[in-house]
Structure 1
């Protein structure tokens, strides 16, 4: 019996059950995606740039108002601080004024003391002159070098190097100076000025009395005092408080300068204190411009 060919049985696969809301797919999509993607993207950009959604004109007005409030706050705090500091500043100003007035009063008092001391010195000078039979004119003569003087003081001898040479012009500080071992006019100027500053009351060099108008100059290798040539050794006599005058001069800058001449250039020097020195009067003292004050004679 021929029969029809058998076919393999078909195996059925179970199908998935349908969702209950399958028939409502549009509503489901609307519920799952309530916002369109374009709206979502716009919202994200707005959030990223910090836009709060407030209109721009309103934001500008709010910013201006905030700035005005801040400025008013700063002004208020500054005014309050100024009111607090005002009394302190006023007090410091008053204290400064008091200090200035006190210093001014002190300076005025010192000026009065100076005037009184000057008057006292003048009276004592006049009394001393009268006691010794002198006068105010004699005192002027002593100070100007117009009269012979004597008293204690210092004897200073300055001499050239043992083997001094000729020439070598120019002061020791100049570029053209060359050491010849000779004493220069500038050296004697410093010696004399140092003695005056150390307290000398009268000075002579090789019996040539110095005055307020004396000049120490050079002519070739010679040293001139008031246009009169001097020959080494140069003997300088200075009347004053001997020991004090010697100490002050040797410790002064000019005394150290003289010591440097001895150490570096071979200039020979010696200084000694004397109880009695005699200085001659200046040959001539000419007054060119000074005149006595009216009512204040010299006699």
Structure 2
């Protein structure tokens, strides 16, 4: 058999295998719109909304408990003052003061290198990553922030800023970019800490080269919400 005929038969055999595999995977459905492939995304969104409702309910119950405790708890004035200081430090109470905000966003999907000498971007170069959000939060804490809010949620000692794909997962709720981080504190010191962060300086290379969204603004006087979720530790134990 001639080599050309053998090659032709091989191509047809490979094409048949691909068609069979596609049919077996799709089972007669459109792979792009098959509902079974969307279940995970739907479940995440459903749980996110449910967690938001539970947070609101938990916050209302906590307010009721606080009011009942203030009515007659048998504590001394010194104990009450100590409790208020601890509540302020824990982030469970509202916090009002001067603030700045940092907003991060993905670059346009068709972005190209804007500066000479830079390679054309890969997909990972065009999105905000977990390390970028963590860098901003850490810089704001180091700049003396009295309280920080990511999107609409207050951060506490047990908060974890994590990304799943190109979405932010924070305290059981899911967010898409742009991501806004608000910090109450001395605006000058907060901005200085952000500018001095080595991790943020590295991020700025991608901002300037590929057009990632980056904005630092004075927010004037704002009120951060108190954290309303659970403060129990599930995977760690406090040091005694």
TM-score range, shorter chain: 0.5 to 0.7
Deviation at 1:264, TM superposition (A): 3.1
Report which structure shows greater RCO (CA 8 Å, sep ≥6).
Answer: 2
Q: For residues 48-87 of structure 1, what are the structure 2 equivalents within 5 Å?
A: none
TM-score, normalised by the number of residues in structure 2 = 0.55
Per the alignment, residue 108 of structure 2 pairs with: 162
Unaligned runs of 5+ in 1: 1-129, 166-176, 294-299
Distance 2:92 2:230 in 1: 6
TM-score, normalised by the number of residues in structure 1 = 0.45
Q: For residues 226-241 of structure 1, what are the structure 2 equivalents within 5 Å?
A: 226-241=171-186
Q: CA RMSD in A?
A: 2.5
Per the alignment, residue 156 of structure 2 pairs with: 211
Asked if 1:269 is matched to 2:211, the reply is no
Distance 1:144 1:159 in 2: 29
SS in 1 for 2:183: strand
Per the alignment, residue 97 of structure 2 pairs with: 151
Counterpart contact for 2:135–2:197, Cα < 8 Å: no
- Paired residues, what number? 149
Counterpart contact for 1:159–1:232, Cα < 8 Å: yes
Distance 1:157 1:256 in 2: 15
Counterpart contact for 1:164–1:182, Cα < 8 Å: no
Counterpart contact for 1:242–1:274, Cα < 8 Å: no
Distance 1:225 1:264 in 2: 29
Per the alignment, residue 283 of structure 1 pairs with: 228
Distance 1:208 1:193 in 2: 16
Counterpart contact for 1:181–1:265, Cα < 8 Å: yes
Equivalent of 1:220, from 141, 165, 168?
165
Measured at CA, do residues 164 and 137 of structure 1 come closer, stay the same or move farther in structure 2, by a change above 3 Å?
Answer: farther
Counterpart contact for 2:103–2:178, Cα < 8 Å: yes
Unaligned runs of 5+ in 2: 1-76, 112-121
Per the alignment, residue 186 of structure 1 pairs with: 131
